Amino acid sequence: MAGVAKLLHLHATDLWLVLRAAVLFAFALLAIRFMGKRTIGQLSPFDLLVIIILGSAVVIPMEDEKTPFTHGLIPLVLIAAINYLISKVVLRSRRIENFLQGKPSVLIENGEVVTKNLKQERVSMADLLIMLREKNVTNIEDVQEAVLEPNGKLSVLLKPERQPLTPKDLGLSTAPGLNPTVLVENGEVVYANLDKVRLGLGHLIRELSAKGVRRLAEVKRATLDELGGLTVERQEGGER
């Protein structure tokens, strides 16, 4: 009987740990959601600090059953509330925003490197050249302005004579872009879209046959682009 009681106690303890971990994880996830829809690459140093603190606040209560559950929950809620309030204040004060989030720094201006800002941001010339190549820029003299954003990414504006030509520059008119139209989905013809693009079923079958499709059941998805090209994705995942 003593062995059974001990076993039941262990199971109860394990279940309680699982429940604690699940609840703390849910609250941590909710707190991070309050930070808004930003990717890791868009996080500022302040955002990263908040995430690290949130993780530290919940890890010990998750692992140690002797630590009261509220010792993890209360700091979690408090940090999330403080971060939410600070985010509201930041929207109203540029000075506070610059202090917490950091402010952009000009690294290149009129084709010349701003050495002072480069040293201040601790960015080497090699790092700057790498970031420029990631933007498909190989010549610093082509750059009108390059700004290091608070999230660590580089924004580059080329000089007017180095910017790519657009149809507007050439005096050409363009039609509005259209999304591909799905004509076949999971082996079934989408007749509403077929009528929308004014395409007959017979013509669709002939186009599919030309791409080696014998039966509609073979097609996972067939789409028609704005130029009239048909793209076929087979059930096994291959495209033709």
* Residues pairing with 222 in the sheet: 184, 232
pLDDT tens profile 142-153: 999 999 987 788
- Identify the pLDDT of residue 13: 62
- Identify the pLDDT of residue 109: 92
Confidence label for 39 from pLDDT (cuts 50, 70 and 90): very low
Domain count, the chain: 3
User: Does one domain contain both 149 and 190?
Assistant: no
pTM: 0.49
Structural Rg of the chain based on CA atoms: 29
Rounded to an integer, the average pLDDT of 207-214 is: 84
Q: What is the DSSP string of 8-41?
A: HHHHHHHHHHHHHHHHHHHHHHHHHHTT-S--GG
> What strands lie across the sheet with 188-189, from one edge to the other?
188-189, 181-185, 219-224, 230-234
User: Does one domain contain both 90 and 126?
Assistant: no
Mean model confidence pLDDT for the chain: 78
pLDDT tens profile 19-29: 777 877 787 77
CATH of the domain at 112: 3.30.240.20
Q: Residue 226 pLDDT > 80, yes or no?
A: no
Q: Residue 8 pLDDT > 50, yes or no?
A: no
Domain assignment present for 168: no
Can you read off the two tokens belonging to residue 44?
Answer: 């500022």
Can you read off the two tokens belonging to residue 24?
Answer: 């703390």
- Identify the pLDDT of residue 196: 84
How far apart (Å, rounded) are the C-alpha atoms in residues 163 and 173?
19
Query: In terms of DSSP H, where are the helices of the chain?
Result: 2-33, 45-63, 70-92, 94-101, 115-120, 125-134, 191-196, 201-210
How far apart (Å, rounded) are the C-alpha atoms in residues 181 and 167?
25
Confidence label for 12 from pLDDT (cuts 50, 70 and 90): low
Domain assignment present for 65: yes
User: Does one domain contain both 53 and 109?
Assistant: no
User: Does one domain contain both 122 and 140?
Assistant: yes
Nearest to residue 77, comparing CAs of 34, 37, 40? 34
- Identify the pLDDT of residue 115: 92
pLDDT tens profile 155-203: 899 888 887 766 666 565 555 555 788 999 888 888 888 888 888 888 8
